[in-house]
């Protein structure tokens, strides 16, 4: 801006010297004025633009800030965004680690109370608790020593056994246990312990590499379901059939009407 003012002064001084060194006529003076005024006006406009430019920028910035405040929009700083992202990642890592620890920690004990759908009270007369302990990854052991491992069409033998907790009319005959999961597992444990002792209430058959026990528990523990069972008005079942591998690995277990 200072250079601009100095340039204007220099032009005016030069024009004054020219005027003093000459003696123009009136027409020459008018011509001179017509030539000098556009230059002066141009320099004036340029001076005004240069002088007002900072103020215009400040005014525009103030309008943008006011508009952002009215709309409720705020732009977080880069450091805050980075901190929030890191905290979010840390929280996710904790959740994932907890899930892995819960799902795969050996020694986990599973009961029917862990399942909100099981609201029935466990039988007080059951000789076994029906609790399962995860002895290694996805392998569970009952109080009587029976083991439930991955396998079957349901991906786990425990899931396969629990298919007999409800009726299935698509099958001709389908043994159905009474009670919740704890009670069913306790009944299977009771039958297994009784089968280990032997006696006339136990029938034992070996089929290839599998051992099949049919045990009479002397009381109703379920009923015969399926289409045939429904046709016969779902008769009571007092026997439990257990199919085992390697002595204590459960392949299947379900109620049946007889040996």
For helices 2-21 and 26-71, the axis angle rounded to 10 degrees is 170
Residues 251 and 148: their CA atoms lie apart, in Å, by 8
pLDDT in tens, 183-233: 999 999 999 999 999 999 999 999 999 999 999 999 999 999 999 999 999
**22, pLDDT greater than 60:** no
Strands 139-142, 132-136: pairing is antiparallel
Q: Say if residues 50 and 42 touch (Cβ distance below 8 Å).
A: no
Q: Say if residues 193 and 200 touch (Cβ distance below 8 Å).
A: no
pLDDT in tens, 23-33: 555 566 667 66
pLDDT in tens, 130-153: 899 999 999 999 999 999 999 989
Average pLDDT, the chain: 74
**93, pLDDT greater than 80:** no
pLDDT in tens, 101-132: 333 344 445 554 454 344 444 444 444 478 99
Strands 210-216, 222-225: pairing is unpaired
């Amino acid at each position: 801006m200072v250079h601009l003012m100095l340039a204007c002064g220099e032009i005016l001084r030069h024009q004054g010297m020219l005027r003093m060194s000459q003696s123009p006529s009136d027409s020459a003076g008018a011509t001179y004025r017509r030539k000098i005024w556009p230059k002066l006006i141009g320099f004036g406009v340029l001076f005004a633009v240069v002088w007002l430019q900072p103020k215009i920028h400040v005014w525009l910035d103030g309008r943008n800030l006011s508009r952002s405040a009215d709309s409720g929009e705020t732009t977080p700083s880069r450091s805050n965004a980075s901190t929030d992202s890191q905290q979010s990642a840390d929280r996710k890592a904790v959740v994932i680690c907890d899930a892995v620890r819960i799902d795969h920690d050996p020694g986990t004990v599973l009961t029917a109370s862990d399942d909100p759908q099981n609201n029935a009270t466990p039988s007080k007369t059951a000789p076994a608790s029906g609790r399962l302990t995860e002895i290694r990854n996805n392998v569970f052991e009952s109080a009587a020593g029976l083991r439930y491992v991955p396998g079957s069409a349901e991906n786990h033998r425990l899931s396969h056994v629990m298919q007999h907790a409800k009726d299935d009319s698509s099958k001709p005959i389908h043994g159905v246990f009474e009670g919740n999961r704890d009670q069913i597992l306790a009944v299977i444990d009771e039958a297994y312990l009784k089968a280990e002792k032997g006696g006339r209430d136990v029938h034992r058959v070996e089929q290839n590499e599998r051992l099949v026990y049919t045990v009479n528990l002397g009381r109703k523990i379920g009923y015969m379901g399926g289409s045939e069972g429904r046709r016969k008005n779902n008769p009571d079942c007092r026997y439990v059939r257990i199919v085992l591998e390697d002595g204590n690995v459960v392949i299947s277990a379900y109620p049946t009407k007889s040996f």
